[in-house]
Amino acid sequence: MSGIRSRRAPAAGMIVAAAAAAAAGVPLLAAQPPGGAPAATPVPPQLEFVFSEVVTLAPSITPGATFLGQRNIVPITGGHFEGPKIRGTILPGGWDWQLGRADGCLHIKADYFLKTDDGVVINILNQGVACPGPNGERPPVRTHPVFEAPRGKYEWLNQSAFIGTLEAGENDASGPLSAVHIRIYRVL
């Protein structure tokens, strides 16, 4: 019998782990009532405005078609942002990695740095998908920004979920898009 494993061992291990977590003061998930229904009606998320930004762009670099789709790279050259609790500039040197998909949608993935007016540098990775509407119109683009802020005054950016809106900004004299407007909201 010593070579045969008991089917109860994993469950016993989970009980021991749960007891150890409880002893250490780690909260456990609350049990749901019979039937699996939540005990209370969940509160729908709300949004809190964080900041708006104007991101300036250089002309696109188009490597061309890849096995994933049509690749386009847009250098980020700078800009500015401002909100109730944060403001500053966008550092040059970031990129927006765009991928034109076979379904007509454009996947965007922008990676760049914010520098607050008090000198703190914060990384932002902002992703989204822009798809044409049923009649070819361009509906609003929604993004999912994720921040990497150093510990201190702005670490609250690391501790929440955010959504963004993206709109085309102005074009320069030759026609290519030279800026985008982004608004960031914290999900409460």
Extents of the domains making up the chain: 47-187
Residues, the chain, total?
188
Question: What residues are paired with 180 via a beta bridge?
Answer: 55, 168
The rounded percent of the chain whose pLDDT value lies above 70 is 76
pLDDT of amino acid 64:
87
pLDDT of amino acid 89:
98
| Encoded tokens for 169 | 């900004």
Q: What do you get for the CA distance between the two ends of the chain, in Å?
A: 54
Contacts of 150 (CB under 8 A, 6+ apart): 120, 121, 122
| Residue type present at position 129 | V
pLDDT of amino acid 1:
47
Q: Report whether 105 contacts 161 (CB < 8 A).
A: no
Query: In degrees rounded to 5, what are phi and psi of residue 13?
Result: -65, -40
pLDDT of amino acid 171:
58
Nearest partner of 165 among 177, 181, 148, 186, judged by Cα: 181
Looking at CATH, the fold of the domain delimited by 47-187 is given as Porin (2.40.160)
pLDDT of amino acid 182:
97
Q: Which residues of the chain have pLDDT under 50?
A: 1-22, 28
pLDDT of amino acid 18:
46
